[in-house]
Amino acid sequence: MIRVHARSFAAILLRWYDAHHRDLPWRRTRDPYQIWVSEIMLQQTRAQTVIPYYERFLDRFPTAAALARASEAEVLACWSGLGYYSRARRLRDAARLIDGTFPRDFDAIRRLPGVGDYTAAAIASIAFDLPHAVLDGNVMRVIARVTKDSADIGAAATRARFRQIAQQWLDPRRPGAFNEALMELGATICLPRAPQCRVCPLAANCAAHRAGCAERLPVKLRRKTPEKIAAVVVVARRRGRILLWQRPAVSRRLAGFWELPSPEHLPSPTSLRTIGTFRHTITHHHYAFTVCTADVVRARKPLQWLPIADLATIAPSTTARKALRIAGISA
C-alpha cells in the first residue's frame, strides 16, 4: 500500500461511507439478533435479494426466542427461495442455544452453529463496538488492490495475511462502521469487473490503481468447469391437490423440502404437455428445466397428493416454486 497512516486511511474511508452508504434495513439497528440474521442471509447472497426475506423473517420471528420456538418446517418455509438452506437450520439451532440472551463477546458468538470468523467479527463490531475486523470477498478484493498483492486469495496463507492487514486498518473507535465501509466499498465501487476507480475514495492510496492493474486483481483459484444438466418436472393436479414428494431428513441437500416429481417417478402419467422452461444454477451446476403437466390417476410413495392451499405452510424447493409459478400456482 502507498504509505498512509492507518488513522488517516480510516478517516477517508469513514467520511466516504457516512456520505454515500446504501440505506439497508439491517443498518438501522444495533440489535445483535437482527444483525446476526442479516449476516447469515447475506452469506453468498446479494443485499437486494436478501431485503424482502430479511423483513419477512423478522416479522415472523422477531426475537431469538421466537425463532427457537419455531419448528424446522416453519423456518424453512419462511426461508424458502433464498437458498443454502443449511443456513436456516443452523440459525434455528443457534437460537435454541442462546436461551434469550445473545452472547456479547467474539469467542462466544463464534461458537454458535453456522457462525464463522467473518460473521462473528461482523456481529461483534456492529452490535457491540468490539475491535474485530471482517474478511469477506469484498474486503479481500479491496486489500488485494490497495496493496497490489498478486498472491492467490484462495490460499490459507494469503487469507491469514489479509486478515492481519484488515485488523491493522480497523478504526477501533468505530469498528462496526469501518467494517461496513470496507464491505460497502467492495460491493459498490471496488467491483470485481470494471472497478470505479475514478470515484473511489481510496484511489490515491491504491497501489493497483497507480500501476493500472486493479481489474486484474485479486488472483483467484481456477473455478470448476460448469456442468450443464437437463431435467423435467411435472405439475400434476387433481381436485384441488398437487402431487409432491418430500426429501428425507438424511438428504445431503434440501432435507425436508418438497419437490415436484419427474416423469420417471410417475407410475401412470398420460399426455405430458410442456408448459414452459426455466434455468437454475447451484454452484457450478447449470440446470435447464422443462415444466410439464400430466394427468395422473394413481400415486405411489414417496409421492403424495397435498392440498394446493398447503403450499403456503410447507417448504417447496426453489425449483419447485419456479415450476409452480409457470403453472400459475403461487407457493
Do 151 and 51 belong to one domain?
yes
pTM to 2 decimals? 0.80
Residue 222 resides in a domain = no
What pLDDT shows up at residue 148? 94
The CA distance from 85 to 321, in Å, is 15
For the segment 31-45, the average pLDDT, to the nearest whole number, is 96
Annotated active-site residue 227? The verdict is: no
DSSP-derived 3-state class of residue 299: coil
Residues 170 and 246 in one domain: no
Grade residue 1 by pLDDT with cuts at 50, 70 and 90: very low
Query: Do 162 and 305 fall into the same domain?
Result: no
Distance CA 47, CA 134 (A): 17
The CATH number of the domain where 194 resides is what? 1.10.340.30
Report residue 188: phi and psi, to 5°: -120, -25
Which residue among 183, 216, 249 closes a domain? 216
Asked if 290 and 230 count as a contact pair (C-beta separation under 8 A), the reply is: yes
For the segment 3-15, the average pLDDT, to the nearest whole number, is 81
3-state secondary structure of 206: coil
* Domains identified in the chain, total number: 2
- β pairing state of 285-296 and 227-235: parallel
pLDDT tens per residue, range 258-279: 999 999 888 766 689 999 999 9
Query: What's the pLDDT tens digit per position in 162-171?
Result: 999 999 999 9
Q: Could you tell me the residue range of the domain that residue 232 belongs to?
A: 227-326
Model confidence at 5: pLDDT above 90: no
Q: Which helix (H) or strand (E) holds 16?
A: helix 6-20
Residue of 39, 180, 184, 259 marked catalytic: 39
Are 192 and 251 contained in the same domain? no
Among 216, 247, 263, give the residue marking a domain's end: 216
Measure the CA dihedral 260/266/268/269, to 10°. 40
3-state secondary structure of 274: strand
Tens of pLDDT, residue by residue over 270-306, are 689 999 999 998 878 899 999 999 988 778 889 999 9
SS3 label, residue 143? helix
Cell of 230: 437437463
pLDDT band at 221 (very low <50, low <70, confident <90, very high): low
pLDDT at 199: 97
Q: Residue 11's pLDDT is what?
A: 93
Is 1 part of any domain? no
Domain termination residue (choose one: 169, 188, 216): 216
| Whether residue 265 sits in one domain with residue 190 | no
Statement to judge: residues 81 and 128 lie in one domain: yes
Q: Are residues 164 and 296 in the same domain?
A: no
pLDDT score for 222: 62
